[in-house]
Structure 1
Amino acid sequence: MSNAPKPAAAATTEGTLANIVSHAKEYGFVFQSSEIYDGLGAVYDYGPNGVELKNNLKQLWWKAMTQLHQNVVGLDAAIFMHPLTWKASGHVDGFSDPMIDNLDSKKRYRADVLLEDRAAEHEKNGELARAETLLAEMGRLLTSEDLAGVRQLIIDEQIVCPISKTGNWTEVRQFNLMFSTQVGAVAEDSSLIYLRPETAQGIFVNFLNVQKSARQKVPFGIAQIGKAFRNEIVARQFIFRMREFEQMELQFFVRPGTEGEWYEHWKTMRRRWHEVMGLPADKLRFHDHDKLAHYAKAAVDIEYEFPFGFKEIEGIHSRGDFDLTQHQTLSKKKQQYFDADIDPETGKAYGNYVPFVVETSAGADRLFLATLCQAYQEETITEGEGDKEQTKTRTFLKLHPAVAPVKAAIFPLVKKDGMPEKATEIFNALRHDFRVIMEERDAIGKRYTRQDLIGTPFCIVVDGQTLEDDTVTVRHRDSREQTRMPIAELRAYIGEAVSFSRIFERL
C-alpha cells in the first residue's frame, strides 16, 4: 500500500558550484584542510558522509575493473619510488606546466588554462569555430614549445587577470610540478626522492612481477587506486584541481598492432560506465587531445558538464611501448613478454616483445565532484491541505542507492511506548549488512529533511502499528512516497536497491 505525496510544483534544478561547496561542508562531505589555521590551499579533507560516498565510488570502479574482467588484476604500489623511475618516465626533465604571472596582481596562472577558459567562453557564446581554432593554435604552440607564441595568443585574445583586470603579463615559462623530499636518517647522507605525480609508473615497474605471479597472458590489465601529488600553481574549482588527489587507473597491456582496437574498446566502455553511474549522456562528451605527448598514439578525455563548464573526469590514452621501453633502457632489466600464440601470417609464435599499453585514468575526486553536482537537486513542492497548503523549496541529493553514504535511517515516531526499543532492534538487525543510522530527535518531517540532504534513499518509521503487526513505513527519498511493509522484508528490499549488481548488470 502506497501513500503518494503531492507532486512537485516546479521542475527540479541543479545547484551552482557555490551551493554545492556550501552543502558539502555543512553536511559532512568535504572540509577545507587545516581550516582552524585558515586552511591549506587546494587541499581538502573528506568528512563522515564524504568518505563513505568516495569509498563507494572507488569500490564500484575497483569491482567493475577487477571482478568483471578475468584478465584484470590489482596492485597497490608505494608512493615513494626510486628516483630513476621519474627520470625514465620523463617527469624529471619534462613534467611541467606553462605559467604566466600578472605583474599588477602578482598572481600566477597556467597559460593553457587561461586559453582553455577563453575557448569555453567562445563556445558558450555560440562561436564554436572560434573556440576550436583557438584550442588548435594553442596545441600547436605548446607542441612546438613556442612559449612566446602562447603569450602572444593570450594578448591577442585580450585575456586579463581576474583580480587586477589588466593584461600586464610576464613571459610564459615552464614550472615543474613534482614535490621533492629527502630520504635518509642524516640530512647530509640523504637522497632526493619525489612524491609520485601519477600512479601509472608503479604499475609499469611491476609489469613482469604481476604478469608472472598472476599468470596473466597478454592482453591483460593492472588496476590501481592511489594518491598522487602535484604542485599545482592554479588550484581552483573546489576539489576539481588539488595538490593531493586520488587516481583510479588501468594500464592494459596489448600485443603491438592491436592497440587501436583496444583503445576504442576502453573508450566506449569507460564512457558507458559513467552513464551507468548516473551521469547523463547529454552531460558527457569526448574531447580529443589537440596536443599529444611525444610517445602517445591517441588520447581522449571524457568530460562532464560541471557548473563551471565541461571538464575532464577521465582520460584514455594509447601510450605505445614508451614506458616499458624507457624502464628497460635505464634499469637494464628486460621488460619483454614471451607470447606463445601463433602469428597467422608467419605460422610461428609471436615470441618476445615489449607490450603496448592502453591506459584509462579517472580522478576519484573529480568523479566524486561530478556525482555530487549531478545529485544536488532543488525542487518546489506543495505540502498541507486547504488553508494550510504551502509551497517550499526542497533540497536533496539524488544519489544512486549503491553509492549513498547512508542506506537507511530508522526513526521511532515518538520516544515512548516501546517505539525506540523496536527501532533499535531493526537497527541491530540491519547494521551488519548496510550502513544505517537511528534518529529520535525532532519532528519526523525534520528528520526526513536531514536524510534528504545527505542522500539517504530510505527512511524507516516505527509507529504504533509496528508494535501490533511488525510492519513499518518506508519513505522513499526521490518520490517521497511511503510504503508499508513487514520488518522481515527490509533486508531483502534494501539489499536489492543498494546492490552493486544493479549497476553492473547495465554495463
Structure 2
Amino acid sequence: MAKTNEDQFKNVISHAKEYGFVFQSSEIYDGLSAVYDYGQLGAELKNNIKTYWWKSMVQMHENIVGIDSAIFMHPKVWKASGHVDGFNDPMIDNKDSKKRYRADQLLEDKIERYKKDGKTNKAEELQAAMDDALQNEDLPQLKALIEQHEIACPVSGTRNWTEVRQFNLMFSTQFGAMAEGSDAVYLRPETAQGIFVNFLNVQKSGRMKIPFGIAQIGKAFRNEVIARQFIMRMREFEQMEMQFFVRPGEDGKWFEYWKAERLKWHKALGTSPEKYRFHDHVKLAHYANAATDIEFEFPFGFKEVEGIHSRTDFDLKQHEAFSGKKMQYFDNDLNEDGKPFGNYVPYVIETSIGLDRMFLLTMIQAYEEQDLSDGEKQDSRTVLHLHPCLAPIKAAILPLTKKDGLPEKAREIMDMLKFDHNLTYEEKDSIGKRYRRMDAIGTPFCITIDHQSLEDNTVTIRHRDSMEQERVAIVDLPKIIGDKVSWKNLLS
C-alpha cells in the first residue's frame, strides 16, 4: 500500500527523533509546546545549513558583511518598528475547548480540504473572501467566514466561537532596574531590527558603499498560539536574514535580483525545481512596497520558506524619528547630471529565511524508504540523500573485525582525515548493519578496512546513494572525500 504524504511526514518526524536530529524540548517533563531541541546530528546539519547560507551571502559577495546583534534591544526599537502596535494575529477562541486559534489558519485549512475534495470553486471563493477580509482588517468578516463554512474546533468538535481579536505575538520580560520604569523589554520577534540600528556603525567602520548588505543569523521569539507541523511553527526559532541597502528608485531592480539569487541558492542543493514556487503577497506589511515568498511543497502543501521584501526606507526613517539620530548616507557618486547623489535614507531589500523550516525541508527532501528486495530475498533501507556538504558526518570508518590489527589501521585513517572532516568510527555489528545505520543518517561515504588493507594500504569505499563500492588507496582518501564535500560544489 502506497504511503500518503501524511505518512511520509510522520515517518520523517519519527526518524528525526530516533537518529538524534530533533527532540521535543523538556521531554522528560512531557515537553513544552512548540519548542524543540536539536540533537547531536541535528546540530551538525543545522550548522552546515548556516555555513552554506553564510558563505553564499557574505563570503561570495564583496559588498555584504555579517554581524551578530543582541537579542535584547531598547524598548523604543520595537515602538519604532511598529511591532508594539501592529505585530498582531487575528485570534479566535473556542468556548468549549478553551483553545485559541489563528482565524486565517483555520480558514486556510478549510481551503486545503476543499481542494482535496475537488471543490476548487469553493476553495477559490473562500480564498478571495479571506484575502479581502485580511486586506481590510475586517475581523467580524473573518468570524462570519468561519461560521459560514461550518469550521469546527479540532479539539472539541464544536462551533462555539468567540469574536475574532488581535493578539500581539511578542514575548515581554523585565530587565533589571530599568531607567524607563514602566517600559517592557521584549525578546526580539525578528533579527532585522538589530541590523537597522547598526546601519551607520557598519557603514562607517567598514567604509561600505551603497549598494551593500548586512547579514545576520540569530534566534527570534514569537508567542505562536498554534503549535503544529513539527518545527514549521515554533516559539523559539532561528532566522538567516540579509538587509541590502540601495539607492531610492533602484529598489525594484534589486528586488528582482534577490528573488532570482535566492531561488538559485535553494535549487543548488538538488531539490526538484517543481517543488518551489513564488507567492506574491496579497496584503503587504506596513513597511513594504513589494513582497514575495519562496514556497516549498511540503507533505502538507506549499508553505513559505523564505521571504523577499522591498521594505522601502520605512525602518531607517522610523529609527531616525524615534532616536533623533540621522540615519542618512552621503553618496558622492555622480548621477546623470554629473552631480553627487548627496544625502538620502537608503531603501532596503530584505531576504529572510527560516533556518528551522529549511532544516525540515532538507530532511523531507532527503528522506527515502527504498525496497531493495531481489526475487526471494527481502531487503529495504531508509536513506537520507543529503547533499555531501550538508551531511552531519562525512565518512564512517569501519574496521571489518575488532581484531588482527584492523582497528589500529582504521584509527590511523581516522587520525589522517579528522582534521578536515567530521567522521564517525564504528566496529559493532555486521558490516551490512553498519552500512544501513550510516545510510539512515545521510553519511555519504563508508570506508571499510579489511585484511587486504594491511597488505597494500587500500580500503573499500562505499557510496551512499548508489551503494557502489570501489577499492582505493588510503593515500587518495583526502582528495576523494574532499572533492565531494567541498563547498565549491554548491557555491560555484
* Structures share fold, TM-score greater than 0.5: yes
> Corresponding residue for 1:501?
488
Give the conservation status (yes or no) of the 8 Å contact 1:135–1:290: no
> Corresponding residue for 1:373?
364
> Corresponding residue for 2:15?
23
> Corresponding residue for 2:429?
442
- Secondary structure, counterpart of 2:174 in structure 1: strand
Question: Residue type of the partner of 1:363?
Answer: G
Shift of 1:145: 1.6
Question: Residue type of the partner of 1:493?
Answer: I
After superposition, the Cα gap between the structure-2 partners of 1:187 and 1:65, relative to the gap in structure 1 and judged at 3 Å, is closer
Give the conservation status (yes or no) of the 8 Å contact 2:293–2:304: yes
Matches within 5 A, 1:446-485: 446-485=433-472
Give the conservation status (yes or no) of the 8 Å contact 1:15–1:373: no
| 2:249 is equivalent to residue 257 of structure 1 | yes
Shift of 1:108: 1.0
Shift of 1:122: 3.3
Matches within 5 A, 1:345-384: 346-382=337-373
> Corresponding residue for 1:106?
98
- Secondary structure, counterpart of 1:382 in structure 2: coil
Shift of 1:295: 2.5
Question: Residue type of the partner of 1:207?
Answer: F
Matches within 5 A, 1:265-344: 265-344=257-336
| 2:140 is equivalent to residue 153 of structure 1 | no
Give the TM-score normalised by the residue count of structure 1. 0.93
Shift of 1:457: 0.5
Quick one: distance in 1 between partners of 2:242 and 2:393? 29
Shift of 1:185: 5.0
Question: Residue type of the partner of 1:393?
Answer: S
Q: Which of residues 415, 439, 451 in structure 1 aligns to 2:402? A: 415
After superposition, the Cα gap between the structure-2 partners of 1:88 and 1:263, relative to the gap in structure 1 and judged at 3 Å, is same
Give the conservation status (yes or no) of the 8 Å contact 2:243–2:351: yes
- Secondary structure, counterpart of 1:347 in structure 2: coil
Quick one: distance in 2 between partners of 1:14 and 1:447? 29
| 2:377 is equivalent to residue 390 of structure 1 | yes
Quick one: distance in 2 between partners of 1:184 and 1:391? 64
Give the conservation status (yes or no) of the 8 Å contact 1:14–1:376: no
- Secondary structure, counterpart of 1:233 in structure 2: coil
Give the TM-score normalised by the residue count of structure 2. 0.96
> Corresponding residue for 1:7?
none
Give the conservation status (yes or no) of the 8 Å contact 1:410–1:438: yes
Give the conservation status (yes or no) of the 8 Å contact 1:119–1:131: yes
| 2:128 is equivalent to residue 136 of structure 1 | yes
Which runs of 5 or more residues in structure 1 are unaligned? Answer: 1-9
> Corresponding residue for 2:60?
68
Cα offsets for 1:148-196 (capped at 9, x unmatched): 0011111222222122222221110011110011111599968520000
Quick one: distance in 1 between partners of 2:104 and 2:75? 28
Question: Residue type of the partner of 1:235?
Answer: A
Shift of 1:212: 1.0
Quick one: distance in 2 between partners of 1:268 and 1:228? 26
> Corresponding residue for 1:486?
473
Cα offsets for 1:347-404 (capped at 9, x unmatched): 3211111001110000000000000011110111035xx8xx4122311111001000
Quick one: distance in 2 between partners of 1:376 and 1:142? 37
Question: Residue type of the partner of 2:358?
Answer: L
> Corresponding residue for 2:74?
82
Matches within 5 A, 1:190-205: 192-205=184-197
Shift of 1:14: 10
Quick one: distance in 2 between partners of 1:206 and 1:330? 15
Question: Residue type of the partner of 1:101?
Answer: D
Greater CA drift, 182-191 or 96-105: 182-191
Q: Which of residues 228, 238, 250 in structure 2 aligns to 1:246? A: 238
Give the conservation status (yes or no) of the 8 Å contact 2:170–2:188: yes
Greater CA drift, 116-125 or 252-261: 116-125
Quick one: distance in 1 between partners of 2:61 and 2:122? 43
Give the conservation status (yes or no) of the 8 Å contact 1:402–1:499: yes
Question: Residue type of the partner of 2:467?
Answer: R
> Corresponding residue for 1:6?
none
Quick one: distance in 2 between partners of 1:319 and 1:485? 54
Quick one: distance in 2 between partners of 1:136 and 1:37? 43
Shift of 1:106: 1.7
Question: Residue type of the partner of 2:384?
Answer: L
Shift of 1:43: 0.5
After superposition, the Cα gap between the structure-2 partners of 1:14 and 1:393, relative to the gap in structure 1 and judged at 3 Å, is farther
- Secondary structure, counterpart of 2:356 in structure 1: helix
Q: RMSD value over aligned CA atoms?
A: 1.9
Question: Residue type of the partner of 2:69?
Answer: A
Give the conservation status (yes or no) of the 8 Å contact 2:80–2:319: yes
Quick one: distance in 1 between partners of 2:169 and 2:469? 53
Aligned length: 490
| 2:404 is equivalent to residue 405 of structure 1 | no
Shift of 1:143: 2.5
Shift of 1:469: 0.4
Give the conservation status (yes or no) of the 8 Å contact 1:184–1:190: no
